[in-house]
Homo-oligomer: A and B are copies of this chain.
Amino acid sequence: MSVDAARRDLARLLGAGSVLPGDTAVYLSDETEGRGLRGRADAVALPETPDQAAAVVRWCNDHDVPVVPRGGGTGFAAGAVPLDGGVVLALERLDRVRSFDPLLWRACVEAGMRTAAVRTLAREGGLVFPPDPGAAEQSQIGGNVATNAGGPHAFKYGATGAWVTGIEAVVMPGEVVRVGGAVRKDVAGYDLRALLVGSEGTLGVITAVWLRLLPAPEAFLPVVAFYEGVVSGCSAIERVLGNGITAAALEFLDAGTLAAAGPSFPGGVPAGAGFLVLAEADGSLAEAQRLRAELEAVLAEDALGVVAPAGAAEVEALWRWRDGVSIAVSAQRGGKVSEDIVVPLDRLAEAVAETVAIGERHELPACSWGHAGDGNLHATFLVDPHDDEALGRAEAAAGELFALAAGLGGSISGEHGLGWVKRGRLGLQWSPEAVELHARIKQVFDPRNLLNPGKKTAG
């Protein structure tokens, strides 16, 4: 099958305006571009309906052509990058709100809807869609579900999958199936819904999701505290849990991250600060105020300073700053290799310190930040993206990070998934028998290995 024939066939299925050349740049990379990853595709298909998406999958199956599902392209694992040709199946035109029942706390939206638009929709109904991964303006809800995206508020509210009550997906050889729906409980079958959540486009192509929503909390009241270093900072984090405070978010920045992002911190960073903790209280105004006071008291011990932003504008500025941390870190050397390991909370200090030590061994500046309460670090090595030798060292350092996480009883991925960059690494944390089950589940859904091949491979 020539590339021209592929585009001609797909254009016949979808209409000429729905098929783009395979070299359309915007579909060939994600956030791993800064570590040198860029793909190539034979064509880009832009279906407007689930049936069109199924037709593309069926055509790929019939012609033995790989299909790479793609949302907003904000991934950090190259999961949506077409690394070895095939058809990119971009979901962006499948972006309708199929139903929205604010009085019943639920919505059904198509996969290509931007995450920020989903959040806005909920807010307009007096509700909240709690998951808040970064890049919500660009990412799509289908991609969020396919990676089980997290974010700061996953600490209280869980990751994206916790809010998905149903999934419509195209499965091989090109059929639209639906599991779950506008229901809040369902234990009839094996949890195929949960299996598709986080499957990174390797088991099926998600075309729509039924979401559970929540009444919007009246107030969000963050507190920021600064510490000398990792030990005092991580002790403060454990004190929040130990005192039974149900924070909505519990974030951290280590010294290296603070060096990069501190200069833009609203209000300035106290001298000598080598660790930042950001906690947020939410709920009714009275409840959030009560929780914030508890947080302030508990975080104050050993702190170099505690800041509680006063008004809505200050709160927004704080979170906008927090959203920019990753970019501030990247700006140090132009690029970074950033992984998303998870450890049991009592091993967080060790993981933060060891990230820096691994960097030192590989002669790379290193830092970490992230979702402290969930034990989820963005452990990062700074690199010049044009320096292939340094990139190579960073990849080796990342390998040590994965071994560290697994060795501490954690996971090699808390948010990004395996994608391509962590393919074949699952054996670090799973036994051979579990890895074998993983591989055989893939065979059940995709016997010809055409759905996002090479991604999320276990062994």
Interface residues of A (CB under 8 A from B): 101, 103-105, 126-127, 147-148, 150, 154-155, 158-159, 161-162, 171, 175, 177-192, 194-195, 197-199, 203, 214-216, 238, 241-242, 244-246, 283-284, 286-287, 290, 342-346, 371, 373-376, 409-418, 422, 425-426, 429-431, 433-434, 437-438, 440-445, 456, 458
Given A178-B434, A179-B430, does the pair A411, B186 have CB atoms closer than 8 Å? yes
A191 lies within 8 A of B186 (CB): no
Name the residue on B nearest A409 (C-beta): B181
Q: Which of B147, B185, B214, B438 contacts A375 (CB 8 A)?
A: B185
Given A190-B195, A199-B190, does the pair A175, B440 have CB atoms closer than 8 Å? no
B342 lies within 8 A of A186 (CB): yes
Copies held by the complex: 2
A414 lies within 8 A of B178 (CB): no
Q: Which of B189, B215, B425, B445 contacts A246 (CB 8 A)?
A: B215
B198 lies within 8 A of A105 (CB): no
B187 lies within 8 A of A148 (CB): yes
Q: Tell me the bound Cα distance from A284 to B349 in angstroms.
A: 31
Q: Which of B105, B186, B371, B410 contacts A414 (CB 8 A)?
A: B186
A411 lies within 8 A of B444 (CB): no
B159 lies within 8 A of A185 (CB): yes
Closest Cβ of chain B: how far from A165's Cβ, in Å? 10
A187 lies within 8 A of B422 (CB): no
Q: Which of B195, B346, B410 contacts A104 (CB 8 A)?
A: B346
Q: Tell me the bound Cα distance from A245 to B214 in angstroms.
A: 9
Instruction: Give every chain B residue within 8 A of A162 (Cβ-Cβ).
Output: 158, 162
A416 lies within 8 A of B177 (CB): no
Given contacts A188-B425, A189-B438, 15 further A-B contacts (CB under 8 A): A103-B238, A159-B185, A162-B162, A183-B410, A184-B373, A188-B417, A189-B426, A189-B458, A190-B195, A190-B438, A190-B442, A191-B198, A192-B434, A216-B244, A440-B444
Closest Cβ of chain B: how far from A427's Cβ, in Å? 10
Instruction: Give every chain B residue within 8 A of A161 (Cβ-Cβ).
Output: 191
Name the residue on B nearest A440 (C-beta): B444
Closest Cβ of chain B: how far from A196's Cβ, in Å? 9
B192 lies within 8 A of A438 (CB): yes
Instruction: Give every chain B residue within 8 A of A216 (Cβ-Cβ).
Output: 244
B434 lies within 8 A of A188 (CB): no
B246 lies within 8 A of A214 (CB): yes
Instruction: Give every chain B residue within 8 A of A246 (Cβ-Cβ).
Output: 214-215
10 contacts between A and B (CB under 8 A): A101-B346, A105-B241, A171-B434, A178-B431, A178-B434, A183-B414, A184-B376, A194-B194, A194-B195, A286-B287
Closest Cβ of chain B: how far from A285's Cβ, in Å? 10
Name the residue on B nearest A175 (C-beta): B433
A411 lies within 8 A of B188 (CB): yes
Q: Tell me the bound Cα distance from A192 to B376 in angstroms.
A: 20
Q: Tell me the bound Cα distance from A284 to B294 in angstroms.
A: 13
Q: Tell me the bound Cα distance from A444 to B429 in angstroms.
A: 21
Instruction: Give every chain B residue within 8 A of A416 (Cβ-Cβ).
Output: 187
B183 lies within 8 A of A190 (CB): no
A245 lies within 8 A of B186 (CB): no
Q: Which of B194, B373, B425 contacts A191 (CB 8 A)?
A: B194
Q: Tell me the bound Cα distance from A242 to B175 in angstroms.
A: 36
Q: Tell me the bound Cα distance from A182 to B150 in angstroms.
A: 18
Closest Cβ of chain B: how far from A301's Cβ, in Å? 15
Instruction: Give every chain B residue within 8 A of A412 (Cβ-Cβ).
Output: 188
Closest Cβ of chain B: how far from A432's Cβ, in Å? 9
Instruction: Give every chain B residue within 8 A of A344 (Cβ-Cβ).
Output: 104, 181-183
Q: Tell me the bound Cα distance from A183 to B342 in angstroms.
A: 7
B185 lies within 8 A of A371 (CB): yes
